[in-house]
Structure 1
Amino acid sequence: MHEEVRNTVDASPDAYASAEALYRRGHIADALSLLERSALTGTQAPMLNLAAACCLALQRPAQAEAYCRRAIDISPDFADAHSNLGVVLQRSGRVREAEAAYRRVLTIRPNHAPAHTNLGRILEMQGAFDAARTSHLRALECNPDEAAAHTNLGACCMQLERFDEAEAAFRHAASLAPHDAGVHFNLGTALKKLVRFEEAEHAYRRALTLRPDHTKARINLAHVLLGTGQMHEGWALFEARYERDGWFEPPRTGIPMWRGESLAGKSLIVWTEQGFGDSLQFCRYLPMLKAQGLAKLTFVCPAPLRALFSTLDGVDACITIDDKFTAVPPHDYQCLLMSAPHYCGTTLESVPAALPYLRVPPERARAWRNTLPAGGFKVGLVWAGDPRNHSAHLHAVDRLRSLSAQAYLPILRVPGATFISLQKGASTQPQIDALPAALRPVDLMNEVKDFADTAAIIEQLDLVITVDTSVAHLAGALNRPVWILSRYDGCWRWLYEGDDSSPWYPRARLFRQTRPGEWDDVIGEVEAALRGVLAAR
Structure 2
Amino acid sequence: MASKKYPPPRPAVVAAVQLQAAGRLAEAEQALIAALREDQADFYALHQLGLICCDRKNFADAVLLLATAVERRPDSPEALCNLALALRGLDRLDEAVAACDAALALAPDHAAAHHNRGNALLDLDRPAEAAAAHERAVALDPTNAESLYGLGNALRELHRFDAAMACYETALTLAPGRADIRFNVALLNLLTGRLSEGFAGYAHRLEKPEFAELRGRFAAPAWAGEPVDGRTVLLHPEQGAGDVIQFVRYAPLLAARGARVICAVTAPLKPLIDSLAGPSIEVTVWDRTAPPAHDLHCPYLSLPHGFGTTLDTVPAAVPYLAAAPARVAAMADRIAAAVAAARSATPVAEGDGPADARRLRVGLVWAGNPAFANDRHRSIPLATLAPLLALSGIGFVSLQKDLREGDEALLQQYRVAQLGPDLADFAATAAAIECLDLVIAVDTAVAHLAGALGKPVWILLPFSPDWRWLTGRADSPWYPTARLFRQPALGDRGSVATALCAALAEVREKTRADASSI
> The residue matched to 1:208 in structure 2 has which SS?
helix
Counterpart among 435, 439, 449 of residue 410 in structure 2: 435
* Alignment-derived partner of residue 501 in structure 1: 475
Aligned match for 2:381, one of 382, 404, 411: 404
**Cα distance change of structure 1 residues 420 and 149 upon mapping to structure 2, 3 Å threshold:** same
Could you tell me which residue of structure 2 aligns to residue 419 of structure 1?
A: 396
Report deviation, 1:165: 1.6
Q: Is the contact between residue 355 and residue 479 of structure 1 (CA under 8 Å) also seen in structure 2?
A: yes
Structure 1 residues 377 and 534, CA, compared in 2 at 3 Å: closer, same or farther? same
Once the two structures are TM-superposed, the CA of residue 90 in structure 1 deviates from its matched residue by 6.6
* Residues 450 and 116 (structure 1), Cα distance of their counterparts in 2 relative to 1, 3 Å cut: same
The letter for the 2-side match of 1:273 is E
Equivalences for residues 493-532 of structure 1 within 5 A: 493-497=468-472, 499-532=473-506
Range with greater deviation from structure 2 (403-412 or 463-472): 403-412
- For structure 1, which runs of at least 5 residues remain unmatched after alignment? 1-7, 12-44, 389-393
1:127 is aligned to 2:91? yes
State the one-letter code of the partner of 1:404.
P
Partner of 1:42: none
Query: For residues 438 and 55 of structure 1, what CA distance do their matches in structure 2 show?
Result: 64
Q: CA deviation at 1:278?
A: 1.0
Letter of the structure 2 residue corresponding to residue 63 of structure 1: A
Q: 2:172 aligns with which of 186, 204, 208?
A: 208
Q: Which residue number corresponds to residue 18 of structure 1?
A: none
Aligned match of 1:371:
334
Where does residue 274 of structure 2 map in the other structure?
310
Alpha-carbon separation, structure 1, partners of 2:174 and 2:16: 35
| SS at structure 2 position matched to 1:484 | strand
The CA distance in 2 between the partners of 1:151 and 1:361, in whole Å, is: 54
Report how far residue 157 of structure 1 moved.
Answer: 1.1
Query: Cα gap change, 1:333/1:163 in structure 2, threshold over 3 Å: closer, same or farther?
Result: same
Alpha carbons 1:187, 1:203 under 8 Å: kept:
yes
Residue 384 of structure 1 aligns to a residue in which SS? coil
> Quick check: 1:422–1:445 contact (8 Å CA) kept in 2?
yes
AA aligned to 2:316 is A
Are residue 280 (structure 1) and residue 239 (structure 2) matched? no
SS of match in other structure, 2:172: helix
Q: Which residue of 2 aligns with 1:112?
A: 76
* Aligned match of 2:197: 233
Cα distance in 2 for residues equivalent to 1:376 and 1:80: 71
Residue number among 147, 150, 161 corresponding to 2:114 in the alignment: 150
> Which residue of 452, 464, 478 maps to 2:427?
452
Q: Residue 482 of structure 1 corresponds to which residue in structure 2? A: 457
**Could you tell me how far apart the structure 2 residues matched to 1:243 and 1:357 are?**
31
What letter matches 1:418 in structure 2? G
Displacement, 1:369? 3.4
TM-score (norm 1): 0.83
Structure-2 separation of matches of 1:481 and 1:90 = 47
Counterpart in the other structure of 2:206: 242
| Pair 386,522 (structure 1): closer, same or farther in 2 beyond 3 Å | same
Distance 1:268 1:52, change over 3 A: closer
8 Å CA contact 2:252–2:281 kept in 1: the answer is no
Alpha-carbon spacing, 1:137–1:321, altered in 2? closer, same or farther (3 Å): same
Unaligned runs of at least 5 residues, structure 2: 340-357, 512-518
C-alpha distance 169-384 of structure 1, shift in aligned 2 (>3 A): same
Q: Cα 1:225–1:81, aligned 2, differ >3 Å: closer, same or farther? A: closer
The secondary structure found in structure 1 opposite 2:142 is coil
Deviates further, 488-497 or 207-216: 207-216
Return the offset for 1:123: 2.7
Aligned CA distance change for structure 1 residues 94 and 355 (closer, same or farther; 3 Å): closer
Normalised to the residue count of structure 2, the TM-score between the two structures is 0.86
- Give SS of 2:10's match: helix
SS in 1 for 2:233: strand
| Match for residue 322 of structure 2 among 359, 362, 366 | 359
Q: Secondary structure at the match of 1:369?
A: helix
The 8 Å contact of residues 240 and 246 in structure 1, kept in 2 or not, is answered as: no
Matched with 1:263 is 228
Task: Call closer, same or farther: CA 1:470–1:93 in 2, change over 3 Å.
Answer: closer
1:68 to 25, 33, 36: 36
Q: Report the CA distance shift for 1:100/1:384 in structure 2 as closer, same or farther (over 3 A).
A: closer
1:310 counterpart SS class: helix
Match of 2:369 among 373, 386, 391: 386
CA distance in 2, matches of 1:93, 1:256: 33
The answer to whether the 8 Å contact 2:60/2:90 transfers is no
Distance 1:354 1:277 in 2: 17
The higher radius of gyration belongs to 1
Q: 1:244 to 1:123 in 2, by over 3 A?
A: closer
In structure 2, relative to structure 1, the CA distance for the partners of 1:204 and 1:96 (3 Å cut) is closer
1:321 counterpart residue number: 286
User: CA offsets, 1:390-426, max 9 Å, x none?
Assistant: xxxx42x11111012222211110000001011012x
Partner of 1:281, secondary structure, is helix
Q: Does the 8 Å CA contact 1:46/1:71 hold for their aligned counterparts?
A: no
Question: More deviation in 279-288 or 432-441?
Answer: 432-441
Partners of 2:444 and 2:81 lie apart in 1 by: 38
The answer to whether structure 1 residue 293 and structure 2 residue 258 are counterparts is yes
- The equivalent of 2:342 in structure 1 is none
Deviation at 1:167, TM superposition (A): 1.0
Deviation at 1:127, TM superposition (A): 2.9
Is 2:309 the partner of 1:332? no
CA distance in 2, matches of 1:343, 1:453: 32
How many angstroms apart in 1 are the aligned matches of 2:154 and 2:224? 33
CA distance in 2, matches of 1:504, 1:352: 7
In 1, distance between residues paired with 2:19 and 2:185?
A: 39
**Counterpart Cα distance in 2 of 1:88 and 1:338:** 35
Query: How many Å apart are 1:107 and its aligned residue?
Result: 4.5
Structure 1 position 254 matched with structure 2 position 231: no
Q: Relative to structure 1, is the Cα distance of residues 307 and 431 closer, same or farther in structure 2, using a 3 angstrom cutoff?
A: farther
Q: Which residue of 1 aligns with 2:146?
A: 182
Contact 1:79 1:105 in 2 (8 A): yes
Amino acid at match of 2:462: R
- Residues 286 and 205 (structure 1 numbering): CA distance in 2 closer, same or farther, change over 3 Å? same
| Root mean square deviation of aligned Cα | 2.6
Cα deviation for residue 94 of structure 1 reads 8.0
Distance 1:274-1:106 versus aligned 2 partners, 3 A rule: closer
- Secondary structure at 1:207's aligned position in 2? helix
Q: 2:310 aligns with which of 339, 344, 347?
A: 347
Which deviates more from structure 2 when the two are superposed, residues 312-321 or residues 266-275?
312-321
CA contact (8 A) 1:218 1:237 kept: yes
- The offset of 1:85, in angstroms, is 6.0
Identify which of 432, 438, 446 aligns with 1:471: 446
Q: Is the 8 A contact 1:286 1:313 kept in 2?
A: no
Structure 1 pair 70–56 and aligned structure 2 pair: CA distance change class (3 A): farther
- Note closer, same or farther for the CA distance 1:355–1:209 as it changes in structure 2 (3 Å cut): same
Equivalent-residue separation in structure 1 for 2:264 and 2:200 (angstroms): 23
Q: Classify 1:331/1:128 alpha carbon distance in 2 versus 1 (closer, same or farther; 3 Å).
A: closer
**In 2, Cα distance between the equivalents of 1:398 and 1:238?**
22
- Cα distance between partner residues in 1 of 2:74 and 2:474: 54
